[in-house]
Structures are given as structure tokens and as C-alpha cells.
Structure 1
């Protein structure tokens, strides 16, 4: 082969290698019980990728987002990771259930890939099931329970509770944590109904709500997610239960209120880690820019779900820049105990369990007439109580007690 032709071929190959994108994978539900949250996840992730590429990409390469539908299934989430690994991704993130996070996280670990969990609230995710390749950006059941427990102890003391929960890891985890935080552990006094997983019939929701109405409870806790929560809230509203009971939805989101309707959701109390107007309150330039770009792209406010996906991509990219590497082991040591400020006040990836420590807020859904006065009719949440991440999250001693014999992440 002539030397000039060889040089041309070599230059072409080098150019192709340099142009090859750096891939990351998003697990999200395009269909199923949590499809509305899935849409927000994808929008937040795409905005982060777009922002990074506008700033020159990573390691001289364009960042590319691959995505796959989980249909809110843990088995599908794990299969997606296998698919992503074959396509050469360097990190995977997403999910809208704790089962998805744990299954996908284990599959990612088998391929030496980091997995960042979103909307995965069960304590087990960074507790018993915690492992080195899994980081969680969302809050845990303990964190939601503690901020709610403190608020309710101050403002609604000595109340009787009734719990309606889904028969899954998060539902059981949340119930246990909130019972401890509110002093409602006595099941004889503070009753419960457990709904099976998967699609439910109207009579199943009605039977659980009728039991709550007949229990003499003052506070109704709906530890449900997605379509199941929307159906339960609409039925509770139509039955007039909100006039008799204070409804608690431990993990609220913009898309939940948007899809269920502000009239149905008004006065409901729950928790959030971020709202669209928080950057203004915290004087966060990066947060304000995120809100501005999201509104420009979608003509609506971003919610905490979009913010979580955006933060994960930006934080992984930041670690890649700081180390000059996308190697998972290198990034683990760089992320552990790293603190940062992006869309709100200071946050930290805690080293011993990989839980993201961040402020968590008890919020109340505003009255419908207040919501309708907003330009986008999406200013849903009033912050009624705040707790720091350090105070809300389990301590190291509590984490060790939950872990049992395995006292470090493996």
C-alpha cells in the first residue's frame, strides 16, 4: 500500500474514533403505571445532554443519550441495561420504582457500569441492597418520613392514621418509616389496607377507601404511585373524604398533580426535593438557567423528576471532567463524599451508602384558584417545612444496623 494512501486511511480512522460519541443510557417508562414521570425523566436528561454538547461535549466527544422503555418492570429495566452495555454505554440511570433500581443496578454492576437511581424511594436501595456501583439521587422513605413526621408532630399532633399502600418494596418501606416518625406503629389503632401490585379495579380502590372512612382516622396516608395514586385520589375526592381526613401523599410530583388535577389534589400534604421556583429562592444561577431552558423547550415548568435526571447527567459529566476518565471505578472514588451546588442549595453524594444528601421539604398543594392564577397554571406547591439531608437521612449507625453483617458497599 502506498505510504500516502496509508496515511490518509490512518487519519480517517483517527478522525472517526475522535468523532465517536460517548454514550449513556436512560431507563424510563414510556408506557405503564408511571409513564407521566417517565416523560419528565427523558426531558430532563435530554436537556442536560444538549447543554453539555453545547459546551463542547466530554473528553473531546459528543455525549449521546440512548433510552429504553421499562414499562415500570424490574425485569425489563435489567434487560435494558444488558442492551445498553452491548451498545457501549458508560453509565445508566433512571427508573421509577425501587425494584427497577435494584434490579437494573445489579445488572449494571455485572458490566462494571455506574447506575444512578431516580424516583426509587425504598430504604433498601441504598440500605440492604446498596452496592458500590449504585448511587441514588432521589430521597429515601426515611427522609420523607422524617420531614413529614416533624411537621405533623408540630401541627397535627395525636392524630389517628390510616394507611393505604401498594404491596411493593417502597410501599412497605414508607409505611414502616412513617409509622415510626409519627408514632403510629400500633396497627390496632392505626389501620391499613394493602393493594396488590399492578393494574387494579375500581372496587379495589373503593374497598380500601371505605375501610379508611370507617376507621375513625384523622389522617389518610396514600403510599401509592403513578396511575394507582391518581385513581385513589380521584375516588377519595368524589367520596368527600378530603373534607373529613387530611390526605398525605408522601412523594408528590408536578406530573402527579398535573395529571390528577389541582382541584382533586388541593390541600394534600407530601414531600418534594425540588420545585421550579427553588432556584430563585436559593439564588441559583444554574437552576434559573435550567428552568428557563426547560420552559423554552416545553412551555411548562420543570418538576423535580426532570431536575433529578438533569442533575445526574451533569454530575456524572462533572466527575468525568474532573478525572479525565469515564472509568467507573475512577468515578466512584471521585463521587464519594463529593459536594456540589447545582439547581438548589448544597448537595452531597454520601460516601458510605451513596445516598444523595439534600434538603427535603414538606409541601402542601395550593388551592385550585391560586394555581389557576399562575401563567402556566402549574405553581402547585407551597413549602410548609424544611429539613436538611443530614438530619433526614439515616445515620451511619442506623445504616449499619440495617445492613447487618455486610458493613461496606461491595
Structure 2
């Protein structure tokens, strides 16, 4: 019995030593709530990256371990999760499905000395007025989506009348303002709007907003929505027959939205993406094709840009650690600022002055249901209809400093 107890104690000690002998990173992701489908995509991409890192020797000779916490898309929960990650020994945190999450969690990460990489956080504020040295954003900003959409629409659908429906949060307001500027639809008397509340939106609120759009003279319907909000409103748009007389614009499209809403409901919708599953093949990008195939092998479906973002963030942080030989946040910031790299697409850059990831942005159109159903996995959703280089899409240093006011450098 004594030998048995000694063996059990030794086993427990070795187990705890093994667990402690990993380098931990924390993923903030919505497992429940409005953006739960996007949260699943984030986790899948992150796990693929961690597996790949560990197959190639880990980080500084140690395995990489992914910690995950549910944010339920709430900023205060995302902030509290950072404390949980830090207390568990995490050396970096990333994720989120709203800009409020990124801002709150990023600020708390700075206080705990950790880098925070934002995903699905499109508000200009994230790397603009609320940006700081410990916060990096891999996803594009509202400004970047608006620039590529504005150019495409000006060329192909000029002099149209717009109607905006948005969630009244940082991203919704950023996207509306940027797209109005890019499409010359700033006159609210002519180009109307409805702002929906954050949190739970009732069915009658969607209906009232869409009836207002239907009763307008607009021929362009802009839905600044994501997740369940977008899925529910798009079903109503389809049932009301609004697509017969209005071109629907969804500034930030994701694979999960089309997948959950259905291609019949989403077909011909125009929006933007930073990456599509077929882009690596088109560019002859071996690393990108490897990621796509690995994702298909595990999940029998194509990866979306959400998974790609999480995957890329993990590998970019690991690359910075390997280049510096350090886990120190200050040294990693220096290694990331103005760093150019090629991973899942053509060259990208972590811009030094605002920590925005500068990359090409694409205007896309959702393919017809008939086209999608011909695909082997029935998920080839997006046709790229326009491309803009990152340097042209991203705000300039002067634009950024105007937004920052007196604080002209990241602190």
C-alpha cells in the first residue's frame, strides 16, 4: 500500500510538472451568444496552429498549450477572462468577436503585461482612438472594408440611394460612418438609417427596421450586423422579397453567416473578406494550401477567414518568440512592429505606428445557390469581385493622428 501511495504521489507530481512545463496562450472566444458560430471558427483555427507548433518542436523547447474561455460576446467577461489567463500563467491573449471585447480585454492585458491580438474587431477605435502598444489587430478595420466597397460600388453601382441598419456599438457606428463617406451617402435625410440596440434584439425590432427600409426609396440596403443578428435579419429580408428591388450590402461577411443562413437567402449579397479558402490556390501559396487541407481533413469543410485569423495570430506570435528567443512582451512588440511576412496570402505587415495588420482586402459576392451546390463540399460561398491593396485601404498616419487627437503615438 505504501508503494502504491508513493507511486500515485510521484505520478501526480510528474503530471503537475508536465502541465507547468508548457507555454500557455489564452483564447477569448464566444462559445455562447450572438457570435457562437464565429467562436467555433476561432477555436478551430487556434487549435490547428497549436498542433502545428507542437509538431515542429514547440516554443523555446516547450509545448504550446491553448487555454480557452467563453466571453459570451460581453466586454466585461472578456476583460475578466484576461485575469484568469494571466493567473494561469498565459503569456499572450487573443480573440474576441466584438470591438468592445477587444478594447476591454486589450486594456486589461496591458495592465497585466500581456500582448492582446484582436480578431473580428472591426471598429476603427480598436487600433485608432483606443489603440495602445500592447494591442495588435489582425482583422481589417471598418475603414478598410469601406474603402474597397466604396471603390467597387462607385464604379459599378453609382448614384444609388442607401438605407443603413446597424447595431449601435463601436463597430456599427464606425462602419456606418466610413461607408457613408466612401459612398457619398452622408446625407441622412436622403440615406436613412435605423440603429438597433446592443444585446438581445427582439423580432419586432428587426421587422420595424426592415419595414422602414422597405418604405424608403433606397435601392441599397446596408446591414451592419453579424452573427445571429445578421442571420435573423437576412431571413426576414428574404421573406419580405426586399432583394428583388434592393442590393444588400453586408460590410463584413463570414463563412459561418452564409453557412447558418443558407446560400439561397444569402446569394448575391455583397461584402468584404480579408481571406477566402481558395485564395492560397489562386496565389500559389503553399503554406496557405497546407492550412486549407489540414482544416478540411479535420472538419470536412472549408476554413473561413475567422479560422485563418486565429491560426495566423498564433503562428505570428510564435515566430516573434522564436526570432527574439524571449517571452518578454516589450521585446516581442519590437519584433512585431513593422514586421512583414507571408503566411496564408500575399505579404502582410504589422504596422508600427498603430499595430494594424495591413493586408489586401477583397470585395466579395455570395455565389448563387446553384453554383455553391456544384462544389464538392457545397461551401464555395464567395466570389472575389474587387481587390484593394492594404496600403491603399488602411488609414494613413495623418488620418490616424487626426483620430488620436493629442496622443500621436501608442502608449
Q: TM-score range by the shorter chain?
A: over 0.9
Residue 121 of structure 1 deviates from its aligned partner by 0.1
Distance in structure 2 (CA, Å) of the matches to 1:320 and 1:103? 25
Which position in structure 1 is the counterpart of 2:85?
Answer: 84
Which position in structure 2 is the counterpart of 1:175?
Answer: 176
Residue 233 of structure 1 deviates from its aligned partner by 0.4
- Secondary structure of the 1:90 match is strand
2:392 matches 1:391: yes
Residue 16 of structure 1 deviates from its aligned partner by 4.5
Which position in structure 2 is the counterpart of 1:325?
Answer: 326
Which position in structure 2 is the counterpart of 1:51?
Answer: 52
Distance in structure 2 (CA, Å) of the matches to 1:100 and 1:24? 17
Task: Deviation per CA, 1:158-189: give whole Å up to 9, x if none.
Answer: 00000000010100000000000000000000
Which position in structure 1 is the counterpart of 2:359?
Answer: 358
Decide whether the 8 Å contact of 1:22 with 1:89 is kept in 2: yes
Distance in structure 1 (CA, Å) of the matches to 2:22 and 2:159? 58
Decide whether the 8 Å contact of 1:18 with 1:61 is kept in 2: no
Distance in structure 1 (CA, Å) of the matches to 2:19 and 2:126? 37
Distance in structure 1 (CA, Å) of the matches to 2:247 and 2:50? 41
Structure 1 gaps, min length 5: 1-8
Task: Deviation per CA, 1:293-345: give whole Å up to 9, x if none.
Answer: 00000000000000000000000000000000111000000000000000000
Structure 2 gaps, min length 5: 1-9
Which position in structure 1 is the counterpart of 2:3?
Answer: none
CA distance 1:18–1:56, change in 2 (3 Å)? farther
Distance in structure 1 (CA, Å) of the matches to 2:327 and 2:110? 15
1:212-251 alignment, distance < 5 Å = 212-251=213-252
Task: Deviation per CA, 1:318-375: give whole Å up to 9, x if none.
Answer: 0000000111000000000000000000000000000000000000000000000111
Distance in structure 2 (CA, Å) of the matches to 1:162 and 1:18? 54
2:286 matches 1:285: yes
Distance in structure 2 (CA, Å) of the matches to 1:18 and 1:205? 48
Distance in structure 1 (CA, Å) of the matches to 2:201 and 2:141? 26
Q: Which runs of 4+ in 1 moved over 3 A?
A: 15-19
Which position in structure 1 is the counterpart of 2:27?
Answer: 26
Distance in structure 2 (CA, Å) of the matches to 1:132 and 1:272? 26
Which position in structure 2 is the counterpart of 1:6?
Answer: none
Distance in structure 2 (CA, Å) of the matches to 1:148 and 1:349? 23
Decide whether the 8 Å contact of 1:19 with 1:62 is kept in 2: no
Distance in structure 1 (CA, Å) of the matches to 2:97 and 2:251? 15
Distance in structure 2 (CA, Å) of the matches to 1:283 and 1:332? 30
Distance in structure 2 (CA, Å) of the matches to 1:167 and 1:185? 17
Distance in structure 2 (CA, Å) of the matches to 1:224 and 1:364? 17
Residue 17 of structure 1 deviates from its aligned partner by 7.8
Distance in structure 1 (CA, Å) of the matches to 2:19 and 2:332? 22
Distance in structure 2 (CA, Å) of the matches to 1:347 and 1:282? 14
Distance in structure 2 (CA, Å) of the matches to 1:125 and 1:104? 11
Residue 282 of structure 1 deviates from its aligned partner by 1.1
Distance in structure 2 (CA, Å) of the matches to 1:230 and 1:369? 20
Distance in structure 1 (CA, Å) of the matches to 2:89 and 2:298? 29
2:142 matches 1:141: yes
Distance in structure 2 (CA, Å) of the matches to 1:216 and 1:164? 15
Which position in structure 1 is the counterpart of 2:4?
Answer: none
Which position in structure 1 is the counterpart of 2:191?
Answer: 190
CA distance 1:54–1:150, change in 2 (3 Å)? same
Which position in structure 1 is the counterpart of 2:6?
Answer: none
Residue 18 of structure 1 deviates from its aligned partner by 10
Give the structure-2-normalised TM-score. Answer: 0.96
Task: Deviation per CA, 1:209-247: give whole Å up to 9, x if none.
Answer: 111011100100000111111111000000000001000
Which position in structure 2 is the counterpart of 1:342?
Answer: 343
CA RMSD in angstroms comes to: 1.4
Which position in structure 2 is the counterpart of 1:3?
Answer: none
Give the structure-1-normalised TM-score. Answer: 0.96
CA distance 1:167–1:18, change in 2 (3 Å)? closer
CA distance 1:19–1:164, change in 2 (3 Å)? closer
